[in-house]
Every structure is written in structure tokens, then in C-alpha cells.
Chains A and B, each alone.
Chain A
Amino acid sequence: QQQVKQSPQSLIVQKGGISIINCAYENTAFDYFPWYQQFPGKGPALLIAIRPDVSEKKEGRFTISFNKSAKQFSLHIMDSQPGDSATYFCAASRAAGRRALTFGSGTRLQVQP
């Protein structure tokens, strides 16, 4: 059972554009939703995370939008740069992140110069 569904599978954006990646979850017990960035051959690195008590969180060029009623959350990357080209994973966890993460399937982002 895939508890976190992520789309699109791949995304091509022009430099300076906005990259949008969407995730939907099923388990209403999830209460911590991080996004990770992974480069080939490297471990995931935390970008930004949100709790369900807020609808939006912004850190630099990265914004999470959260819709609790729809059980959806998304990552927006503003002013996308070629260096942002990587695989992005959404994830969800219970107990404020103390439990293991359930990952989405990943989105390969390519930002063209």
C-alpha cells in the first residue's frame, strides 16, 4: 500500500521558472511532512518540513503548501536554478517525526539553463 503518492515522476523547468511537485497521503495519523533533495549517489538532504497546524511554510526559494482537508501537500521551488536539478522526495511521519519516514516515489527535476 503506497501511503504517500507523489507526482509528477519527472519535471523539466526552465531556469527562473517555478517547479511544483505534489504529494497526497492517506494516513490521517501523519503529522510531519518533510521534503528531501537527493543528488545521485548521495543521501537525502532535508529541504523544508511542515506540521499540519499551518497551511504554508516558506524558506528562501522553497515553499510548502499544505491542505489538511484534501490530505495533500506540495513543494514550490521559485526561481529554479540548474543547481536545483536533483530528485525530490516528499515524506510523512507520525508522532511528530519520531517514527520512520514514509517516502513518496520521487520526482526527477531538471532545470534547463
Chain B
Amino acid sequence: GAVVSQHPSRVICKSGTSVKIECRSLDFQATTMFWYRQFPKQSLMLMATSNEGSKATYEQGVEKDKFLINHASLTLSTLTVTSAHPEDSSFYICSARGLAGIDTQYFGPGTRLTVL
């Protein structure tokens, strides 16, 4: 099956700093990647949809200047949390979908962000 990796798996940072999370599709080309956020014991909430070579589409209520998404290649998307604050602490998960005709979304293992 298709594999999606995320790096780092865990990150702890100080309030006010920026953190970059990478999402890579290892064995397929991902035309679309999605970024989700999950709070403890809750469901996954979509943050943004990222298509290779174009600007990300953010969900209502998600600050695009705070959560910068870049999808520069068919195998890599990055999420940068800028000026992180404790309320940004969460589990961030990406998923990737392959080329046209493939409906399955494959999820990465997630990144646990803790902002002190």
C-alpha cells in the first residue's frame, strides 16, 4: 500500500517560535494533500487542502497566515505553524491522494506539537 511519512513525529517548542512539519508521499505522486488537526479524544478536523503548484485552500476559521502550507512537489507538502502559542498544541496529520482515478487517501503517522 501507499506510504505517507511525516517529520518530525514529535516537536516541542517555545511560544512565539515557528515550526515546520513535512508530509511526504514515499511511493506515489500526490496531486492533493490534506492537512488535519486532531485534539485529544476528538475527531479529525480539516484545516486545508493543498494541490501541487497552487495555493492551499483553507477551511473557514483557519488562519492562512498562521498555518502556512506549501506543496512544491508531487511528493512533499509542508505545514509551518508561525508564532506558535500553547493553544496550537495538537496532533497534526496529513493525508495524500494520488493521481486521478485513485480515491483512497493515505494518512501520515501524525506530528504531535507541544507549545510551551
A residues apposed to B, CB below 8 Å: 32, 34, 36, 41-46, 49, 89, 93, 96-106
Chain A hits for B112, CB < 8 A: 41
The answer to whether A103 touches B43 (Cβ under 8 A) is: yes
Total interface residues on B, using CB and 8 Å?
25
Chain B hits for A34, CB < 8 A: 104-105
Chain A hits for B49, CB < 8 A: 99-100
- Residues A43 and B110 in contact in the complex (CB < 8 Å), given A103-B43, A105-B43: yes
The answer to whether A43 touches B43 (Cβ under 8 A) is: no
The answer to whether B105 touches A97 (Cβ under 8 A) is: yes
- Residues A49 and B104 in contact in the complex (CB < 8 Å), given A100-B49, A106-B43: yes
Chain B hits for A36, CB < 8 A: 107
- Residues A43 and B103 in contact in the complex (CB < 8 Å), given A98-B97, A100-B34, A106-B42: no
Complex interface bits, B87-116 against A, C-beta within 8 A gives 1, otherwise 0 = 000010101010010011111111010000
The answer to whether B103 touches A97 (Cβ under 8 A) is: yes
Chain B hits for A102, CB < 8 A: 46
Closest B residue, CB atoms, query A97:
B103
- Checking A32, A45, A89, A96 against B43 with a beta-carbon cut-off of 8 angstroms, the contacting residue is A89
Q: In the complex, how many residue pairs between chain A and chain B have their CB atoms under 8 Å apart?
A: 59
- Residues A32 and B34 in contact in the complex (CB < 8 Å), given A41-B112, A89-B44: no
The answer to whether B34 touches A101 (Cβ under 8 A) is: yes
Chain A hits for B95, CB < 8 A: 43, 101
22 A-B pairs (CB sep. < 8 Å):
A42-B109, A43-B6, A43-B93, A43-B95, A43-B107, A43-B108, A46-B107, A49-B104, A93-B103, A93-B105, A97-B97, A97-B103, A98-B32, A98-B97, A98-B100, A99-B49, A101-B44, A101-B95, A102-B46, A103-B43, A105-B42, A105-B43
Closest A residue, CB atoms, query B112:
A41
- Checking B42, B46, B108 against A100 with a beta-carbon cut-off of 8 angstroms, the contacting residue is B46
The answer to whether A46 touches B97 (Cβ under 8 A) is: no
- Checking A43, A98, A101 against B46 with a beta-carbon cut-off of 8 angstroms, the contacting residue is A101
